[in-house]
Structures are given as C-alpha cells and as structure tokens.
C-alpha cells in the first residue's frame, strides 16, 4: 500500500525516476497507479450530485479545471434515463388516447382516407403495418413538398389514424417546461390503427367508378387536387431560385399568382412561366444595384406578366417535363393516375380538363 501511495504521489507530480528502484519501467507506473489509486480536489465537483471528480492519471489531473461547474457522467446518464422514461410514458399516453377515440375507417372524411392510402403507398414497410420515418425516404416520396408531408402526417396523427410506434427513437421528443413537448415528425415510426381488411375495403369502395365520378364535384376533393398542383409549382419555383442563388419568395402573393396560373394552365406550363420569370429576375439582379431579395420578389411580377400575355394573345405555352429532383409523389399518383385515370395528368393537364373529361 505504501509503495502504491508513493508511486501515485510521484506520478501526479510527474516524477517517474523512482520506477527503476522498484523494478518497474516508466510505462508500468501509470498503469499501476490508474488501477489502484486516484486523487480529487474539494473545490471541483459535479454541480448536481456534489460529488468530487476522481482523477486516475496525470493527464486527467492536468485538465482538472475543465471539470469545474460541470455535470458528471453518472448524473448525465441518470437524466437521460429519466427523459427516456418520460418519453415512453408520453408515447403510451398518446396511443391510449388515440385508441379510446377510434372511428370506423369507412366513416372517416375523404381527406383522411386519401392521406392514409398515400402514406401507406409511400412510407409503409413490406408488411404494410408500420409507417417508416419520413426522413428515411427521398424528397417527394409522399407529397411534392416537405411542409405538405408534415401536414399529412399531423392530420393522420390528430385524427388518431396513425399511432406513434414504440420503436420510435425516444430522442425525437423534446421536453420543455410545464409539461410541454415537441415531436420531430420526420424521424418517427407509426403504426396504422386499421387492419388489412379495413384498408382493402376502403380501396375497393374509394376507387370504384361510381365513387370517383361523384368525387369530381366535391369541394374537398378539388381542394386536394389544387393543393398538389400548387405545391408542385412552389417546389419548382424554389428549385429555380436556388439555381440562380436567389432567396425563396414566400408569402400569400406568390401563392395567389400561381393559383391564378393554374386556373387555365397545367403545372407543366406553369413551370415555363416560372422558369422564364426567374430567369428575368436573375438578369434584373445582374444589371441593377439591388439586393437579391428584391430580385427574387420581382419573379412574381414576371410570372404574372408571362401568364397575362399568354392569355391575352392565346399563345401556345410549351409544357416542361418533370425534373429529376422533383418526381411525382405518392399523393399525386393516387389522385391523378389512379383515381382520375390520367397518367401524371395533374402535371400534364389543367385541372378543369381532368375534372370535366377524365
């Protein structure tokens, strides 16, 4: 014991000369000390449990002051376990509340039915029982826009159609004061509250010719079609602005302008208006002493001008093709290809044509 105490004192002082007198190499001394001794300071301790930090090597001791006013590893681990238990309880409570308020799938609103089938097609595992994390799939898998993706998932969660899976990583839940919390929807796994038979029955009823014929006149269905086309147009606008290193144009004005375009033109043709409008905005920025934000906002004016000119002179507007980074989404495929029986019709044709003649 005396030998170890002596060696420990010398090691923490940085003196290894005594090693040879005890038949040891310089490398053996630190190993012996680390295994059998430690030192501490009364003024450096964990701010939570108040226990002093223990140093088992000279290297640790030299950096002792970095541990001042810190939380020790044991307390951090205990806090992590507490948070995980709390998050497990939150998931259990959300699942319990959802199961208590269950509604037959046949009695759900049209939006919920369409969103569910699109989500299953886009994100379900091979057994169609688990909805995989949105983050693990490429962009445009579910809908044309990331915000639209979250809107769909939140709708299904709030309607208690999707349940948070116990396999969801607990780190996706962020706890705040007063029992408030937020959930990173992109990273969550979900379970579907309905079985295969109920979903199969829904597909059979929703996709028969009589049902679809009636749907074309429903405002709820038409609004979903418009949302898809608007989201696809906004996504291309964002892509075009980024290509010219211009900031995103946000706000209600650009949405109203694109909605006006989509009343008479297809998304493929609106792509043309956007491409030319953003190109003109970039040229405006290059020849004028203006900020990029102002140049980007001018795209609204150019897009409007292109649309009005096409309408006034009855010009043929050349349709664009989809670009690689913005493929057709599951939601668009369900609505336009399957329900309206038009191959990517929501992109290639104006909505009024699809609803009148499909």
Backbone angles phi, psi at 68, to 5 degrees: -65, 135
Which is more confidently placed, 76 or 40?
76
Rg from Cα positions in the chain: 31
Which range of 62-71, 118-127, 159-168 scores highest in mean pLDDT? It is 118-127
Give the pLDDT confidence score for residue 171 in this predicted structure. Answer: 79
Cβ atoms < 10 Å from Cβ of 62:
12
Residue 237 to residue 66: CA distance in whole angstroms: 50
Separation CA 339–CA 358 (nearest Å) = 10
Q: Please tell me the predicted confidence (pLDDT) of residue 32.
A: 61
What is the share, in percent, of the chain residues with pLDDT greater than 90? 54
Check whether 243 has a pLDDT greater than 70: yes
- Give the separation between CA 217 and CA 222, rounded to whole angstroms: 7
For residues 116 and 119, give the distance between their C-alpha atoms in angstroms, rounded to a whole number: 5
**181 three-class SS:** strand
Q: Is 182 helix (H, G, I), strand (E, B) or coil?
A: strand
Between 63 and 13, the higher pLDDT residue? 63
Does position 159 have pLDDT exceeding 80, yes or no?
Answer: yes
Give me the pLDDT at residue 358, please. 43
- pTM of the shown model: 0.77
CB 303 within 8 A of CB 272: no
Helix (H, G, I), strand (E, B) or coil at 190: strand
pLDDT band at 347 (very low <50, low <70, confident <90, very high): very high
- Which tokens belong to 356? 């009148």
Residues 186 and 166: beta-carbon distance below 8 Å = no
CB 115 within 8 A of CB 146: no
For 159-173, 217-231, 319-333, which range has the lowest pLDDT when averaged over its residues? 159-173
User: In the predicted model, what is the mean pLDDT of the chain?
Assistant: 85
Average pLDDT over residues 63-78: 76
DSSP output for 51-106: PBP-B-SHHHHHTGGGGTT---HHHHHHHHHHHHHHHHHHHHHHHHHHHHT---GG
């Amino acid at each position: 014991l005396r030998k170890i105490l002596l060696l420990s004192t010398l090691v923490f002082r940085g003196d290894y000369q005594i090693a040879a007198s005890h038949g040891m190499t310089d490398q053996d001394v630190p190993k012996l000390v680390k295994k059998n001794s430690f030192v501490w300071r009364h003024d450096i301790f964990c701010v939570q449990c108040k226990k002093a930090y223990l140093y088992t090597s000279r290297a640790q001791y030299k950096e002792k002051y970095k541990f001042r006013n810190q939380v020790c590893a044991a307390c951090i681990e205990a806090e992590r376990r507490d948070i995980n238990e709390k998050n497990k309880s939150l998931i259990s409570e959300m699942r319990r509340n959802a199961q208590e308020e269950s509604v037959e799938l046949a009695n759900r609103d049209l939006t919920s039915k369409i969103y569910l089938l699109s989500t299953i097609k886009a994100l379900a595992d091979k057994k169609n029982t688990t909805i995989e994390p949105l983050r693990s799939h490429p962009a445009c898998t579910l809908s044309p826009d990331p915000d639209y993706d979250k809107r769909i998932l939140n709708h299904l969660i709030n309607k208690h159609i999707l349940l948070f899976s116990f396999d969801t990583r607990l780190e996706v839940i962020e706890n705040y004061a007063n029992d408030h919390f937020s959930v990173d929807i992109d990273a969550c796994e979900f379970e579907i509250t309905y079985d295969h038979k109920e979903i199969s029955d829904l597909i059979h009823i929703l996709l028969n010719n009589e049902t679809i014929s009636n749907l074309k006149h429903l405002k709820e269905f038409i609004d979903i079609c418009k949302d898809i086309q608007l989201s696809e147009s906004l996504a291309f606008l964002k892509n075009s602005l980024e290509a010219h290193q211009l900031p995103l144009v946000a706000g209600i004005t650009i949405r109203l302008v694109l909605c006006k375009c989509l009343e008479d033109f297809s998304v493929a043709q609106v792509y043309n208006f956007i491409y030319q409008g953003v190109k003109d905005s970039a040229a405006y920025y290059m020849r004028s002493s203006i900020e990029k934000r102002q140049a980007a906002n001018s795209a609204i004016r150019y897009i409007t001008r292109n649309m009005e000119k096409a309408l006034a002179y009855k010009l043929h507007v050349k349709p664009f093709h989809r670009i690689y980074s913005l493929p057709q989404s599951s939601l668009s495929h369900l609505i336009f290809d399957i329900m309206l029986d038009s191959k990517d019709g929501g992109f290639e044709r104006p909505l009024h044509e699809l609803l009148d003649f499909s």
